[in-house]
Amino acid sequence: MAAVAYRHPGRAHRRLIMPHGPENNKPNEDKQREERAGVTEIASGAEQLKCLIRQSKSTVFFGGAGVSTESGIPDFRSPAGLYAAKRIYGHTPEELLSHSVFVREPELFFRYYKKNLIAEEAKPNAAHIALASLERQGLLSTVITQNIDGLHRAAGSKNVLELHGSNWRQYCVQCGASYSLHYILDETHCKEGVVPVCEKCGGIVRPDVVLYGERLQDAVIHAAAKAIACTQLLIVGGTSLRVYPAAGLLGCFEGRHLVLINQSETPADARAQLIIRDAIGKVLANAV
């Protein structure tokens, strides 16, 4: 049984990073009262969400690893992922996916990365498909994701901000040449069958993803912060909101409605107007 909680919109939020939202995004008490009255009569969380999406002038979705688990992509930061990494590789996922391990021990990095972060066969799930549909209907402006699997684009979403980059883009660290994911998976392009090498200059070819110890791209993080600062409705799903940059980005939100779709509690629960503890694919599919 899905758990649904409805909360009244909170008071003004403090920004932690990034620009102010436009003045006209400031809450209007009368309008909010009217909207609340209409929204609370509706029974299920997905129905409430559907109603909010249709009432809102602008909507942004911000998602984490939980959006992809229904596509069979495990969260490498989960307790099971952590345990497996320590047992098989002798390190935590954060260490294995760090800039320093990539530089010092590229073989170890690529062994872990190829086995645990690439899911070539994974298909978009109901959540990705619903979000792409909302964008096509003009009801969703932006998808911001912490995932690197490219499944939002595969589902047809166009305006996607990939905070941590994408597996589907690879580049040579020496000459900058671009490569496909297929290139690095082809062992004939790899040193010892593992570390991919540029066919032009012999440099290492790496994923265009942000490793631990590396900075997020300024342009992407600024665009994400701006989208969140300017939207009326923010739907957050499949993320615990406990790690950077998620927590900071949420601090930019000054809109009317924050909706959380997550199986467990998050630090933002007290600020949310609607919390849905249910499978994200099912909820979003019912909200389209």
> Which amino acids are annotated catalytic?
164
CB of 174 or CB of 263, closer to Zn ion? 174
Binding mask 183-222 for Zn ion (x = CB under 5 A): ---------------x-xx-x-------------------
Q: Mark the segment that binds Zn ion (CB under 5 A) among 47-55, 100-108, 174-182, 267-275.
A: 174-182
Which tokens hold the place of 71? 């596509």
CB of 26 or CB of 200, closer to Zn ion? 200
- Residue-level length of the chain: 288
Least distance CB 114 / Zn ion (angstroms): 19
Query: For residues 44 and 261, is the Cβ–Cβ distance under 8 A?
Result: no
Least distance CB 102 / Zn ion (angstroms): 16
Least distance CB 205 / Zn ion (angstroms): 7
End-to-end CA distance of the chain: 20
d(CA 54, CA 49) in angstroms, rounded, equals 9
d(CA 91, CA 56) in angstroms, rounded, equals 45
Task: Decide: is 177 part of the binding site for Zn ion (CB under 5 A).
Answer: yes
Task: Decide: is 171 part of the binding site for Zn ion (CB under 5 A).
Answer: no
CB of 129 or CB of 190, closer to Zn ion? 190
Does residue 107 sit in helix, strand or coil?
A: helix
Starting from the edge strand earliest in sequence, which strands make up the sheet with 233-237, in order?
3-6, 274-277, 257-261, 233-237, 59-63, 142-145, 160-162
CB of 123 or CB of 200, closer to Zn ion? 200
Report how many residues bind Zn ion under the rule CB under 5 A: 8
With CA atoms as reference, report the closest residue to 170 among 183, 159, 161.
Answer: 183
Question: Which residues are at the interface with Zn ion (CB under 5 A)?
Answer: 172, 174-175, 177, 198, 200-201, 203
